[in-house]
A and B are shown apart, each in its own frame.
Chain A
Amino acid sequence: MTVLAVVEHDRGIITTASFGVLTAARNLAKQMGAKFEALTIGANADALSEVISKYGASTIHQAHHQALIDFGPEAWGESIAQVVRKTSPQVVISSGTERGHEIIAQAAARLDLPAAMNCLEFDKDFNGTQPLKVVRARWGGSLMEESQIDAPIKLVTLANHIVEPQEELSTAPATVLAIDVDLDDSVTQSFVQDRVERVAGVTLATSPVVVSGGRGVGSAEAFAPLEELAGLLNGVVGCSRAVTNNGWRNHTDQVGQTGTRIAPDIYIACGISGAIQHWVGAMASKNILAINIDAQANIVTKAGYAVIGDLHVVVPAISAEIRRRRNL
């Protein structure tokens, strides 16, 4: 029996989500009394065998084809499908990321097997022979689903940040097996053709301070005081979907299920009610300060701190107090 971890990487650089996947695959294999194997796609990922070995994989399959020089969802999915046909693992697991979901769905479609995305837990009694019970995230994490994968080979993605990466203490070097995959024209057009690199700098996803506004802000112009406060705190401005829907701010600023998930040191939510789809994007914040006229608003009852009042006066007052203390 085997658990196969599909290692997500970008042109040979392993993604952080992959470490959790390798750890989860090893834990599951141990529980099943199965072998833990890994798969890398493209020769540019061959060098990853060293780091993968540290996680305790006994065999590393390296899928090779001249076309595999960048990411391509269909070619990657087809490569996984071919390796799965050859090695018949009981479980195939990859990362709960955009690429991870996509390649697992591609592989599952090609193998005509079910797939469960964003798994949070696997059945502790699973031994490889029964259906696999999982708990997976729905609604971007606002709801959990217990379900069962009823198929000889179980394909899953692991929800991001769920398993703490942990190297194996004592490992023997892994056996490395190169495997040539067969990719035809039907899968080779969907490779990345071009890229525009992002300019470095803090983004909504990485900023330690986020000052966010909702419908209560009232207009695009009324975000100016939020911009000012964010500037004083070296943070960035975020918003709710009500704001992007009104065209007041760009979708890149949206926090939530269909926006960005954030985990700043402090999230200052101004005039935001805290709908579940918004909350799920903000709940990983270390501290939340809600500024709202409604003391019963969902965000107020869930936040660690709150100010009850009109954001149009409270936000400028905070900025003024900061300037006063800094003698600005």
Chain B
Amino acid sequence: MNILVCVKRVPAPGARINITSDGQQVDTAFLGFTVSPHEECAVEQAVQLVEKHGGEVTVLTLGPAEAQEQLRTAVSTGAVKAVLVPIDTTDWDPQRTAQAIATVITELEATNGKYDLILFGNESADSCGYQVGIRAALKLDRPIVNGAKGLDIENSVAVIRRESDAGVEIYKLKTPACVGVKEGINLPRYPTMKGRLASKKVEITQSTASGEVGGLKLIMLRRPPERASNTKILGNGPEAASAVVDLLEELGVFK
């Protein structure tokens, strides 16, 4: 079973997100980068599935050259092939991204055969567009369900568990299929020594693809208004317990 996982490189901001002076991007000057959490879990799920059913995992990212770092991270945790679709540093819009990804996947499949599963993150952590996987799946003529908190393969059928307010919903898609994965589906492993070595050695395939510019255009980013807070310090150490319980009584949460 061959699985392709599409991942995105995103900054990892801490206490606040700063924006560049032109308002076009997150200021990443002092930030590290990571794989979007949903996709980190998608890679882990793919690796678990091939451990169980055989096959191999390929990771693909559309992003700047530096996104190789995220591909290598995925290889260090069990993916074996990596594909970079290089773009200039700024984000592409969702329509353009999906088109380019679908084009590259079609090319890859022309030589390697169809992937049984193509996994996406439910939404990217930074732009939160909720649509690239769905658009790409349609272009590839494959079914897709988002929000997967469980995913297994039984007799060439992808069984997807998804949470709702009422409980858990089960979906079943005949493979080849696409799935949008959410964090919590598993606990991603740490890289092994062997994985780290493999990630250094892996040859990253570069596949260029263009895509027509879509209709959603960024004007500028801004930070939401910050809630002013005058923190009331109730005390230091265990002596504060009495003041805390007074507060709990006052708020009516402790009677």
Interface residues of A (CB under 8 A from B): 10, 71, 73-74, 77, 98, 101-102, 105-106, 108-110, 112-118, 131, 133, 137-151, 157, 186, 189-198, 208-209, 232-233, 235, 241, 244-245, 247, 251-252, 254, 257-259, 265-266, 273-277, 283, 287, 289-290, 295, 298, 300-310, 313-314, 316-318, 320-322, 325
Among B172, B217, B237, which residue has its beta carbon within 8 angstroms of that of A314?
Answer: B237
List 22 interface pairs A-B (beta carbons < 8 Å), by A numbering.
A73-B134, A73-B146, A106-B134, A114-B94, A114-B95, A117-B128, A118-B128, A138-B126, A142-B224, A147-B217, A195-B168, A244-B187, A251-B187, A258-B182, A258-B183, A275-B13, A276-B16, A290-B231, A303-B231, A307-B244, A322-B245, A325-B245
Q: How far is the CB of B15 from chain A (nearest CB, A)?
A: 4
- Give chain B's interface secondary structure class: mixed
Determine if B197 is an interface residue (Cβ-Cβ < 8 Å). no
Q: How far is the CB of A279 from chain B (nearest CB, A)?
A: 8
Which residues of chain B are within 8 angstroms of A273 by Cβ–Cβ distance? 14-15
Within 8 A of A (CB), among B179-235: 182-184, 187-188, 214-224, 227, 229, 231-235
Which single residue of chain B is at the shortest CB-CB distance from A151? Answer: B215
Cross-chain contact A190 with B234 (CB below 8 angstroms): no
Q: How far is the CB of B35 from chain A (nearest CB, A)?
A: 12
Which residues of chain B are within 8 angstroms of A251 by Cβ–Cβ distance? 183-184, 187
Which residues of chain B are within 8 angstroms of A209 by Cβ–Cβ distance? 253
Interface residues of B (CB under 8 A from A): 13-17, 19, 26, 37-38, 93-95, 98, 123, 125-131, 134-135, 138-139, 141, 143-147, 162, 164, 166-174, 182-184, 187-188, 214-224, 227, 229, 231-238, 240-245, 247-248, 251-254
Cross-chain contact B247 with A305 (CB below 8 angstroms): yes
Cross-chain contact A114 with B216 (CB below 8 angstroms): yes
Which residues of chain A are within 8 angstroms of B252 by Cβ–Cβ distance? 265
Complexed CA–CA distance, A277 and B34 (Å): 14
Which residues of chain A are within 8 angstroms of B229 by Cβ–Cβ distance? 301-304
**Contact (A306, B128) CB under 8 Å given A105-B135, A193-B172:** no
Which single residue of chain B is at the shortest CB-CB distance from A232? Answer: B254
Complexed CA–CA distance, A306 and B173 (Å): 49
Which residues of chain B are within 8 angstroms of A310 by Cβ–Cβ distance? 237
Which residues of chain B are within 8 angstroms of A150 by Cβ–Cβ distance? 215-217
Complexed CA–CA distance, A186 and B173 (Å): 11
Which residues of chain A are within 8 angstroms of B243 by Cβ–Cβ distance? 307
**Contact (A73, B145) CB under 8 Å given A143-B223, A148-B217:** yes
Which residues of chain B are within 8 angstroms of A114 by Cβ–Cβ distance? 93-95, 214-216
Q: How far is the CB of B2 from chain A (nearest CB, A)?
A: 21
Cross-chain contact B128 with A193 (CB below 8 angstroms): no
Q: How far is the CB of B224 from chain A (nearest CB, A)?
A: 5
Q: How far is the CB of B123 from chain A (nearest CB, A)?
A: 7
Complexed CA–CA distance, A87 and B223 (Å): 37
Cross-chain contact B171 with A321 (CB below 8 angstroms): no
Q: How far is the CB of A250 from chain B (nearest CB, A)?
A: 8
Which single residue of chain B is at the shortest CB-CB distance from A120? Answer: B224
Complexed CA–CA distance, A52 and B38 (Å): 35
User: Among the interface residues A108, A148, A235, which one has the most CB atoms of the partner chain B within 10 A?
Assistant: A108
Complexed CA–CA distance, A266 and B235 (Å): 18
Which residues of chain A are within 8 angstroms of B26 by Cβ–Cβ distance? 143
Beyond A10-B164, A109-B131, A192-B169, 18 extra complex contacts between A and B, CB < 8 Å: A101-B131, A106-B138, A109-B138, A109-B139, A139-B128, A142-B13, A142-B17, A146-B221, A186-B143, A189-B174, A195-B168, A259-B184, A277-B125, A298-B15, A300-B231, A305-B234, A313-B237, A322-B248
Cross-chain contact A309 with B240 (CB below 8 angstroms): yes
Q: How far is the CB of B181 from chain A (nearest CB, A)?
A: 11
Cross-chain contact A190 with B17 (CB below 8 angstroms): no
Among B220, B222, B237, B248, which residue has its beta carbon within 8 angstroms of that of A233?
Answer: B248
Cross-chain contact B254 with A233 (CB below 8 angstroms): yes
Complexed CA–CA distance, A257 and B123 (Å): 11
Cross-chain contact B147 with A98 (CB below 8 angstroms): yes
Q: How far is the CB of A173 from chain B (nearest CB, A)?
A: 31
Q: How far is the CB of A268 from chain B (nearest CB, A)?
A: 9
Shortest 4 CB-CB contacts between residues of A and residues of B: A251-B184, A114-B215, A317-B238, A105-B131
